Structure 1
Amino acid sequence: MKAFEFKPKLFTALKNYSKELFMADLMAGIIVGIVALPLAIAFGIASGVSPEKGIITAIIAGFIISMLGGSKVQIGGPTGAFIVIIYGIIQQYGEAGLIVATLMAGIILILLGIFKLGAVIKFIPYPIIVGFTSGIAVTIFTTQIADIFGLSFGGEKVPGDFVGKWMIYFQHFDTINWWNTIISIVSIVIIAITPKFSKKIPGSLIAIIVVTVAVYLMKTYAGINCIDTIGDRFSIKAELPDAVMPSLNWEAIQDLFPVAITIAVLGAIESLLSATVADGVIGDKHDSNTELIAQGAANLITPLFGGIPATGAIARTMANINNGGKTPVAGMIHAMVLLLILLFLMPLAQYIPMACLAGVLVIVSYNMSGWRTFKALLKNPKSDVTVLLITFFLTVIFDLTIAIEVGLVIACVLFMHRVMETTEISVIKDEINLNEESASKEEEENLSIPKGVEVYEINGPYFFGIATKFEEIMSRLGDRPKVRIIRMRKVPFIDSTGIHNLTNLCQMAQREKTTIVLSGVNEKVHKALEKSGFYELLGEKNICPNINVALERSKELLNE
């Protein structure tokens, strides 16, 4: 087994670094830093923390992911996918609980990378990814309804669950503030039409600047003071906080462990998906295990400074590529740009209207929803549609932790069901046709099966599902031949349940005076059976290399 190697792309990129590459990375880094600013603020507030914590996450996690990551162009930071999880953790455990959960997720991600499980993450079924991504999009949209319509709840606490939120929204819809609604609609329209005029400057930034200036003028000169801004709800600190180690206790670790796994799995999926998309555009190949370790390191260090969970961000990674980013240096520059903005321009963020940020997040949720993909998947086989819908509704109605756990279980069950369907068990009583088999020229085309002998052919893996199926076929036949030959030439592997089943079958056959003969067992299956002690029960003479030898052995047994 090949030893694990930690190879950040930055180290290989710097070997042949040049002034031209630096200038390309510098321009890309500045633009991506500007693109990331409104998103970091919006994600921070939507997650239930102060706006600067979203930027702190983008700075620290973005720098670490680029410095240690396995992708040349990956941009890391807070993403919309984590909003729902973070908000739920803060509601239940507070910000201290969020720090503990993020630290644990960081450790899990590092272990996933060390044990080379990066490739395994990619095998999570696509319907599950689409299901919970679309579910998160719906949930993010739901959390923004109050700010879009400027609803006031008279001190009543907004529930954390989807159904509870909509119930309280409908109860207080008579408190709608039309100025907020107009601000949100204008922001959405600006973001939607910006790509038609500018590919470089993000629509979210233009919307924030235009709408913030307009609202400031309205408040100052028109006396319209009913539009909430960030400054009305948060006190912004334009500084990097000191690192603080949270107090850890075993009870909190136990309670938060399932949530930490969800953060780690979601972070791994999103970062590796982003890196894979980037590979397709730039023609490179990322190191998935190195990337996971970088993601883990980012989530281990960022929460110490008050940050939130981070991962690779597809939109910002694509912005990096489209603006000429060539190496991880671009991602590190993006983090430095955000640091300068935090230190010198952050006080201006207090004038940004909450309704404008809600508009930004409506666009984010729309892009995340992938409704065209969702619609296309509904035409797939029923099993895929089942996984998709269950994951989606569990994400929306309950939470992402339950959705991922249940979705993976269902996907595994359906996978095993499909394997069972592909594994065939046939019973042959008269003769075996060798025309389609690789038999030698000396062999006849057909082999006759002596009376009192039955041949069972297993085509496919012999695992716990098939073991039961095999027993059902034999009990349905109900006869008791003197010899049962089990052809296993097309069995690639056998699990412990399959071995247990064969052992029971052999013991039952001995009680019925029937002898089991195995034919064509491959080396891998042979080793598994030998190690389990199965051959001691069966006897070496009853293990045959091919069907010809097995039939000769059955004739000997019939004559005994």
Structure 2
Amino acid sequence: MFPHDIPHSQNTELEVPFRQKLPYYMPCFSWLPSYTPTALLHDTLAGVSLAAYQIPLAMSFATAVAHVPAICGLLGLSVAPAVYCLLGTVPQMIVGPEAAVSMIVGQTIEKVVKHNDGVSPVDILVVLTSTSGAVLFAFGLLRFGFIDNVLCGSLLKGFITAIGLSMMVNSIIAVLGLQSVLDSLPSDIHVHSVFQKLVFLFHHWRQYNGATLIVGGVTFSVLVIAKRVKKLFVEKKYKKASFFPEILVVVVISTILSSHFEFNKLGIKVLGKVDVDGFQLRLPFSGDLKPWYGQLFVTSFMCAILGFFESSTAGKSLGSSLDVATSSNRELVALGSIGLVISSLGALPSFGGYARSKLNSINGANTPISGLIMGITTLFVTFFMLDYMYYLPICVLNAVICIVGVSLIQETPKEIKFHWRTKGYNELVTFVVTLSTSLFYSIETGVALGCFYSVIRVIKHSTKSRIQILSRVAGTGTFISSDCDMDEWDPDHLSHEITVKGYKEFRTQNGDDAHRSSVNSSSSGGAHVGTPNLLDKEGCLIVKIPEPLTFTNTSDLKTRLKRLELTGSAKVHPAGSKKENSRVRHVVFDLNGMTSIDSSAAQILFEIIDGYQSRGINVFFCRVFKSIKLAQRLKDSGIMELLLDCEGEDFGIKQSVSPYYDEILDALKAIDGIESSCDMWDNTSYYSNYVFDGV
């Protein structure tokens, strides 16, 4: 009988007052009580400085990338930081429209609007933003914060590279003045992927607009030079140079020049009037939008996952530098809430970005108030200063986007070189699959295939058991793994071994090892030096289980044991020849690390033990983890009853809980007792040329 007084852990949840719980559910209460005027000053300066950098980008992402009105980007930059200020867990994180997600949104809107007459781009944007927000919010409530650990860095790098190249190609089309030519193509001609747009450029580049090319090209060149000069100043310890808003300066100057020289009369498209008066609230998940939710769910899901992945990467980087504890689950709730709120405004999906958050930190921000200040500044510009942006050339915004695209792919060669040097072929395959599919088909499909390959890798790794199957080295108390390559065996460097203390002394005392080793030495004089002599008399295996058993690793264990029994090694290919003189007579399961077992695993383990016993193979369980739940499952599954044939009391061995042995040594002593009382074996069968004891 299994005793009911086995020590086991009891989870007692202490009652926590609501006041202590509040900062967890509303993170703003963790810093608001200690907020000071000095912190407000620093946050205000950082927020205003950041607005000068982000406002032109938000307008560029909206018009040149997502193909929606500029106000959609500005509202995302204004409202999202206010929501994050209440719910976010990373103090210096800045949320707003992101290049990658905006590109996915733009590709989707481009397809839908081109092939569906009368569909508003803003309505499609509401569907994408609200669905991605709902997905993230649900993931947060379900505590799915671990998903950012599933997607590998090479997947993100392939996605970012595809985004960068796509942004550059789109910008080149706009800078050449070919956007009107692209829009005028018949609806049955599909030009959506990067490859298709490159083909379009090859056939139509001669229709370029010279004035647009000059303005866009000069803007791009000026920005490249300005960024290079700023970098040189920063490297020479002029740190304040990093605050220079070169994008804002270029946008303002180009707008003034466009107004003075009337660029619009030269065929250069300008931003025009941003319709703030026509702005209206929308109700997601209702009305005419309902049919689109099912069709666009996959795209929305991709936006949600990639946005969270990028936010999580930025949050972890900032959190490590600030020594701040971040919660992935709370971040999911915060980002999901942002998506649900701003979708009613028709704003671009907004997520955390590392570059702007790092700049926010450099500017001296201490809390999320800096993001709130940036949002207020953006709102002020949106409602009171946008009329001055009427003459802003669209090609200037596209030149800005091209600069962003170049920055996204700068780290790609370094990444490829690193994985090639370290032979990270799985990472390279993930990168190539994601990038090539994104370029030749669509970014959503590329990310989906990359995610699928990454998940398959995770599943393969998780289902591969860490269970070891070991056999004894003759004359020692050491058991080595059956996965060990004996052609490269080094007695001083065994990476997979256990030593059973007292076993060698026990065998020596009984006179077993001394006699058998001498006979084995004389019978294997041709053996090469360095290979250990191993006995086959006991035919004993030790199965070391250092992890909970599930149906996946138990099935893997069953396969490995069968292969080991048939071929003599777990490393031999399944098609390898069967070892005629291999013999397993005893199997010891060391369950010290098996803290739990599910029902399917118990069924498979029962089949393994029952199969062994039906062939006369003895099975022993030792060091069973002390858990009432585990013991009950072993009993209910019938495993406990099967083990009663080899109880310790039959060999004079004390057991705390029968039929489980307290130590591996006790099980080995029982095996020795069985062998010493068995006279049915001929002496010549005691010895074997096999490198494993019993294999």
**Could you state the TM-score of these two structures normalised by the residue count of structure 1?**
0.87
Distance 2:663 2:584 in 1: 20
Q: CA deviation at 1:484?
A: 2.8
Please say if 1:78 is aligned against 2:97: yes
Q: Structure 1 residue aligned with 2:419, among 359, 368, 377? A: 377
Deviations 1:156-202 (A, max 9, x none): 15622222222222111111223222222222222223343542232
Deviations 1:292-330 (A, max 9, x none): 211111100111111121101222212221222111111
For 1:229, the aligned partner's letter is V
Q: Structure 2 residue aligned with 1:109, among 126, 136, 143? A: 136
Q: CA deviation at 1:417?
A: 5.2
Please say if 1:88 is aligned against 2:116: no
Distance 1:533 1:125 in 2: 39
Q: Which residue of 1 aligns with 2:54?
A: 36
Please say if 1:12 is aligned against 2:30: yes
Distance 1:140 1:527 in 2: 60
| Highest RCO, 1 vs 2 (Cα 8 Å, sep ≥ 6) | 1
Please say if 1:395 is aligned against 2:413: no
Higher helix share: 1
Q: Which residue of 1 aligns with 2:270?
A: 229
Deviations 1:481-518 (A, max 9, x none): 44333445566776777555433323432443333333
Deviations 1:46-88 (A, max 9, x none): 1121111111111111221223211111111101011232123
Q: Which residue of 2 aligns with 1:518?
A: 621
Please say if 1:156 is aligned against 2:185: yes
User: How many residue pairs end up in the alignment?
Assistant: 555
Distance 1:202 1:531 in 2: 71
Larger deviation, residues 1-10 vs 116-125: 1-10
User: Aligned to 1:518, what secondary structure does the other structure show?
Assistant: strand
Distance 1:387 1:156 in 2: 35
Larger deviation, residues 262-271 vs 425-434: 425-434
Q: Which residue of 2 aligns with 1:241?
A: 279
Larger deviation, residues 527-536 vs 56-65: 527-536
Larger deviation, residues 139-148 vs 548-557: 548-557
For 1:65, the aligned partner's letter is Y
User: Aligned to 1:444, what secondary structure does the other structure show?
Assistant: helix
Q: CA deviation at 1:335?
A: 0.4
- Relative to 1, partners in 2 of residues 1:169 and 1:494: Cα closer, same or farther, differing over 3 Å? farther
Q: Which residue of 1 aligns with 2:539?
A: 453
Q: Structure 1 residue aligned with 2:356, among 303, 309, 316? A: 316
Q: Structure 2 residue aligned with 1:167, among 199, 213, 221? A: 199
Q: CA deviation at 1:148?
A: 2.0
For 2:135, the aligned partner's letter is I
CA contact (8 A) 2:175 2:212 kept: yes
Distance 2:444 2:605 in 1: 39
Q: CA deviation at 1:126?
A: 1.8
Distance 2:375 2:27 in 1: 17
Q: CA deviation at 1:119?
A: 4.8
Please say if 1:356 is aligned against 2:356: no
For 1:244, the aligned partner's letter is R
Identity, in percent, stands at 18
- Relative to 1, partners in 2 of residues 1:17 and 1:432: Cα closer, same or farther, differing over 3 Å? same
For 1:470, the aligned partner's letter is L
CA contact (8 A) 1:453 1:485 kept: no
User: Aligned to 1:77, what secondary structure does the other structure show?
Assistant: strand
After TM superposition, the structure 1 = structure 2 runs for residues 38-437 of structure 1, keeping only pairs within 5 Å, are: 38-45=56-63, 46-93=65-112, 95=121, 96-122=123-149, 124-151=151-178, 152-153=180-181, 155-156=184-185, 159-195=191-227, 196=229, 198-219=241-262, 225-231=266-272, 236-239=274-277, 241-246=279-284, 247=286, 252-369=292-409, 370-375=411-416, 376-380=418-422, 381-415=424-458, 420=464, 424-428=468-472, 433-434=477-478, 437=498
Q: Which residue of 2 aligns with 1:470?
A: 561
Please say if 1:535 is aligned against 2:635: no
Please say if 1:444 is aligned against 2:495: no
* Coordinate RMSD, CA, aligned: 3.4
Distance 1:47 1:11 in 2: 36
User: Aligned to 1:70, what secondary structure does the other structure show?
Assistant: coil
For 1:358, the aligned partner's letter is N
For 1:81, the aligned partner's letter is A
Distance 1:427 1:334 in 2: 67
Q: CA deviation at 1:405?
A: 3.6
Q: Which residue of 2 aligns with 1:503?
A: 606
Question: Which ranges in structure 1 are unaligned for 5 or more consecutive residues?
Answer: none
Q: CA deviation at 1:40?
A: 0.6
Larger deviation, residues 294-303 vs 183-192: 183-192
Larger deviation, residues 157-166 vs 436-445: 436-445
**Could you state the TM-score of these two structures normalised by the residue count of structure 2?**
0.72
